[in-house]
């Protein structure tokens, strides 16, 4: 007796399970009429401050909620709760990214029909979250002026997977000699045509334009769904 | 480092496939890995070894075929291989494009199965 290998064809997407759950979520979000935005960035870019300001502003006219992924603490959820929006923390343990099933579990018990916007703050990481679809309508990548203009070239996969980029901490731009044109061309090089906003969550400069963009995107989606 | 969870999915999915085929012994898993899949080949290879430990797949190989990025150029109206993932434009005419037609693959394409055969006397 001897053994010889035989090659059999399989063809299976490794992330099929996640993609299936994401598809179910997307349909669920669409049926409920909620516009879902996910946020990705490096640790320390200012996702939580940015989101706190966005939630506080949107809360005045819309029903909004947020999910926030973090490895170990619940500090971010506590901070975001100051906006008075419902916030749920997803503690990922040692996992470096959110997966669709975690989002599905987290929104259980929430009446999505009453929501206009749902924000999902991913774990601070520019590598791992890129492969996982969370069923969102819009993936937002944040880049702060303190990180350097070449971040998009170092992490092309995640910047390419995003739908919109926001350059934050613009109030510090001159202190760190931030080169906006270089950052802009690097972002466009890895994702041609991507809308890019620059703002300061701290001072509020540029926030208005971004909020207008978000509400316009939501209106477009609702108009398309109504046809 | 999400390669370990990816490797565990590969092991799980391969075991299911092996069981579905009557509990065959798998000696190698062939994977297509796109340059824009977000997964690093070297990290995946070592994660695969860890994920196989204490499973029927222990000792099996992961054969990775790296898939380059191909984009669609809206000006030339053809698919072109991308020269660099840091510059999404047509390598021929320079038109910017983010229409990826290949390079995001993360799929198990084939399994090498050990078959016991009668050796000639």
**What local confidence, expressed as pLDDT, does residue A2 receive?**
64
Contact B107 A13 (CB under 8 A): yes
Q: pLDDT tens, B16-75?
A: 999 999 989 999 999 999 999 999 999 999 999 999 999 999 999 999 999 999 999 999
Measured CA angle at B63 (ends B57, B67), to 5 deg: 140
Chain A contact for B9 (CB, 8 A cutoff):
yes
- Is A99 in contact with A132 (CB distance < 8 Å)? yes
Residue burial B48-63, b: 16+ Cβ < 10 Å; e: rest: beebbeeebbeebbbe
For residue B91, name the pLDDT band (cuts at 50, 70, 90).
Answer: very high
Tell me what percent of the residues of chain A surpass a pLDDT of 70.
99
Predicted TM-score (pTM) of the model is: 0.90
pLDDT of residue A82: 80
Among B10, B107, B112, the residue with its CB nearest the CB of A11 is: B107
Euclidean distance between the first and the last CA atom of chain A, given in angstroms as a whole number: 67
* Chain B, window 34-53: residues with a beta carbon less than 8 angstroms from a chain A beta carbon: 36-39
Confidence of residue A210 (pLDDT cuts 50, 70, 90): very high
- Residue in B73, B63, B66, B10 with CA at minimum distance from that of residue B36: B66
Other residues' Cβ atoms within 10 Å of the Cβ of residue B12: 15
Asked whether the beta carbons of residue B38 and residue A158 sit closer than 8 angstroms, the reply is: yes
Q: Which candidate from B39, B98, B114 shows the least CB-CB separation from A3?
A: B114
Mean pLDDT of A52-77: 88
Select the residue from A5, A14, A71, A127 to test the B interface by mutation, using most B Cβ atoms within 10 A: A14
Mutate to test the interface with A, among B88, B93, B109 (most CBs of A within 10 A): B88
Average pLDDT rounded to a whole number, residues A74-82 = 79
- Is A3 in CB contact (< 8 Å) with chain B? yes
How near does any CA of chain B get to the CA of A186, in Å?
A: 8
Output the six-digit token pair for B15.
């075991």
A9: exposed, middle or buried (Cβ count in 10 Å: 0-12, 13-18, 19+):
exposed
Q: pLDDT-derived band of residue B116, with 50, 70 and 90 as boundaries?
A: low
Position A225 confidence tier, pLDDT thresholds 50, 70, 90: confident
Q: Does B93 touch chain A (CB under 8 A)?
A: no
Cβ neighbours for A124, distance < 8 A, ≥ 6 positions apart: A41, A42, A43, A44, A45, A47
Q: Are B83 and B43 within 8 A, CB to CB?
A: no
* Count of alpha carbons within 13 angstroms of residue A222, beta-carbon side: 14
Note whether A7 contacts B: Cβ–Cβ < 8 A.
yes
Residue A77: pLDDT band by 50, 70, 90 thresholds? confident
B3, closest residue in chain A (CA to CA): A128
Burial class (CB in 10 A: 0-12, 13-18, 19+), A144: buried
- pLDDT tens by residue, B1-16: 689 989 999 999 999 9
Select from B88, B107, B112 the Cβ nearest to the Cβ of A5. Answer: B112
Return the H-helix or E-strand segment holding A83. Answer: none
Partner residues linked to B33 by β-bridges: B66, B106
Q: With a cut of 60, say whether residue A1 has pLDDT above it.
A: no
The ipTM, to two decimals, is 0.85
Cα distance between the two ends of chain B: 51
Helix, strand, or coil here: A217?
A: helix
**Contact check, Cβ <8 Å, A156/B86:** yes
């Amino acid at each position: 007796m001897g053994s010889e290998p035989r090659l059999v064809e399989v063809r299976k997407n490794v992330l099929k399970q996640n993609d299936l759950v994401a598809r179910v979520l997307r349909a669920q979000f669409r049926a409920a009429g909620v516009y879902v935005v996910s946020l990705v960035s490096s640790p320390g870019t200012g996702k939580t401050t940015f989101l706190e300001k966005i939630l506080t502003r949107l809360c005045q006219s819309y029903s909004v909620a947020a999910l926030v992924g973090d490895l170990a603490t619940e500090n971010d959820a506590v901070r975001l709760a100051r906006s008075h929006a419902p916030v749920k923390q997803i503690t990922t343990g040692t996992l470096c990214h959110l997966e669709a099933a975690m989002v599905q579990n987290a929104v259980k018990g929430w009446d999505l029909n009453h929501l206009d916007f749902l924000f999902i703050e991913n774990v601070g990481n520019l590598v791992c979250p890129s492969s996982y679809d969370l069923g969102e309508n819009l993936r937002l990548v944040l880049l702060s002026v303190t990180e350097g203009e070449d971040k998009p070239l170092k992490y092309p996969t995640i910047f390419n997977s995003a739908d919109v980029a926001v350059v934050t901490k613009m109030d510090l731009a001159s202190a760190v000699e931030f080169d906006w044109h270089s950052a802009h061309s690097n972002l466009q090089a890895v994702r041609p045509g991507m809308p890019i906003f620059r703002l300061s969550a701290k001072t509020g400069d540029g926030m208005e334009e971004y909020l207008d963009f978000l509400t316009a995107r939501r209106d477009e989606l609702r108009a398309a769904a109504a046809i | 480092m999400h390669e370990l969870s990816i490797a565990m999915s590969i092991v799980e999915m391969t075991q299911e496939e092996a069981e579905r085929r009557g509990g065959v012994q798998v000696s190698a898993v062939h994977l297509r890995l796109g340059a824009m899949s977000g997964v690093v080949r070297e990290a995946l290879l070592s994660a695969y070894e860890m994920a196989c430990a204490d499973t029927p797949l222990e000792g099996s190989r992961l054969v990775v075929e790296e898939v380059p990025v191909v984009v669609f150029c809206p000006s030339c109206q053809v698919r072109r291989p991308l020269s660099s993932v840091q510059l999404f434009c047509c390598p021929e005419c320079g038109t910017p494009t983010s229409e990826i037609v290949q390079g995001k693959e993360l799929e198990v394409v084939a399994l090498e199965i050990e078959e016991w055969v009668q050796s000639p006397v």
